[in-house]
Structure 1
Amino acid sequence: MLSYIIWPIVGYLAGSIPTGVWYSTYRHAVDVRELGSHNSGATNIGRNFGKKAAIFVTLVDLLKGAIPFYLAHHLYPQISLIWMSVALAAVLGHAYPLFADFRGGKVVATSIGILLAYHFTTGLIMVALFGLILWLSSTVSLASMLSYSLTSIGLLIFVNDKVVGIGFVLMALFMCYRHRANIGRLMMGNENRVGFGLRSRK
């Protein structure tokens, strides 16, 4: 019974590691949340500090979700409620980090890390779908939300364990909630676009 309490705490603490904030603070002496979109995620890191910084932050944020989920899955292979509570706690930690004034990111990389740890092939399919949507739209927020939501719905339909399916759908819904400002800009037609893809702005 104690495992149902301890493991979500582990997930939350892992998710609370504010990769982008710590990177920008110690490497560039500025809090990335004061720049650009005021988000601590890899997209804002990349816009302000370059591709290498974005890749580094993305990898660490992936691991923040993947490692605690993998450990819980490995130790309790038959108890999906523990894995998914760890997963949800990790994304909550990323969004509201204990170590960064509860002002975190939009949970994309951490959620993808969890998906890769759950089923690597499905995670790769989601990443490929993200890349396709990004190429068609040149919009990171749309590609993130749509690719993860479609993958989560697929898991809900096809995976026998409904706890898993519901857990991933909840993560997709939370991701959309964290992108609510982006959704407003998408509806207004003025969301930021990256500099490549079919709809990139020259």
Structure 2
Amino acid sequence: MNEWLWLAVAFLSGSVPYSLLLGKFLLHRDIRQFGDGNPGATNLVRAGGRWWGGLAILLDGFKAAIPVGWVYWFDRPALPWMAAIAVAPVLGHAYSPFLRGRGGKAITAMFGVWTGLTLFEAPVILGVSMGLLYLIFENSGWVVLLSQGVLGAFIWMYHPDYLLGIVWAMLLLLSIWKHRADFTRPAVVRASLLRLISGHKRP
């Protein structure tokens, strides 16, 4: 029963739409009217600025990191349960019952999960690779996919653990599904980078 309880807590914690709530009660705006229409921190930035977006990112990260980290470091149930609990906050964010099964792309919640499981290691690898790839490619879906590939390689080389591998694979599949519209187009290199490269090639 303890595992079922933690699974429910992790899912419900992840499903709280903090960005939407901040936009509604503090900015008096529906952030789904901005950008791509998702109730995530990126659209809160568009609606109210970087400070609000930063607050939402912290809340979205903690809502996944706290339940996952608590169970992982202090309880540590059997592998199938731990994997399910680790993925639950991301599923809650992506398919929030408070939003009738709709939600964001859950990138920040994924950072929270990796924080709970590895503290700073995996979030740093994922964040740095994602930041660098955003400088190269325009399509956010491809950036997320490639950066998760980098994280997978890091886990395989330095933390060959069944739990981390299973969680990585499950989050990768969820990312692919949530960004599936981006994969109908090829990865596009940023025009500014192409201009920079072509400029350096000139005599």
Q: Same fold (TM over 0.5)?
A: yes
**Residue-pair matches, total:** 194
Instruction: Say if 2:37 is the partner of 1:42.
Output: no
Residue 179 and residue 63 in structure 1: after superposition, are their counterparts in 2 closer, same or farther (change >3 A)?
A: same
By how many angstroms is 1:54 displaced? 1.5
Pairs within 5 Å for 1:143-182: 143-156=143-156, 159-182=159-182
Following the alignment from structure 2 to structure 1, what is the Cα–Cα distance between the partners of residues 150 and 52?
A: 29
Amino acid corresponding to residue 81 of structure 1 in structure 2: P
Instruction: Give the structure 2 partner of residue 105 of structure 1.
Output: 104
Amino acid corresponding to residue 132 of structure 1 in structure 2: L
Is the Cα contact below 8 Å between 1:112 and 1:123 reproduced in 2? yes
Instruction: Look up the SS of the partner of 2:136 in the other structure.
Output: helix
Give per-residue Cα distances to partners, 1:129-182, cap 9 Å, x unaligned. Answer: 111111222554432332123313542565443232012111111011111123
- In the alignment, structure 2 segments of 5+ residues that lack a partner are 196-203
Following the alignment from structure 2 to structure 1, what is the Cα–Cα distance between the partners of residues 145 and 43?
A: 17
Residue 43 and residue 62 in structure 1: after superposition, are their counterparts in 2 closer, same or farther (change >3 A)?
A: same
Give per-residue Cα distances to partners, 1:9-41, cap 9 Å, x unaligned. Answer: 111000011011111111222321233211111
Is the Cα contact below 8 Å between 1:153 and 1:165 reproduced in 2? no
Is the Cα contact below 8 Å between 2:65 and 2:113 reproduced in 1? yes
Q: TM-score, normalised by structure 1?
A: 0.83
Give the aligned CA root-mean-square deviation in angstroms.
2.6
After TM superposition, which residue ranges in structure 1, 4 or more long, deviate above 4 angstroms? none
Give per-residue Cα distances to partners, 1:81-106, cap 9 Å, x unaligned. Answer: 33321121111100111222222100
- In the alignment, structure 1 segments of 5+ residues that lack a partner are none
Residue 8 and residue 123 in structure 1: after superposition, are their counterparts in 2 closer, same or farther (change >3 A)?
A: same
Instruction: Give the structure 2 partner of residue 68 of structure 1.
Output: 67
Instruction: Give the structure 2 partner of residue 31 of structure 1.
Output: 30
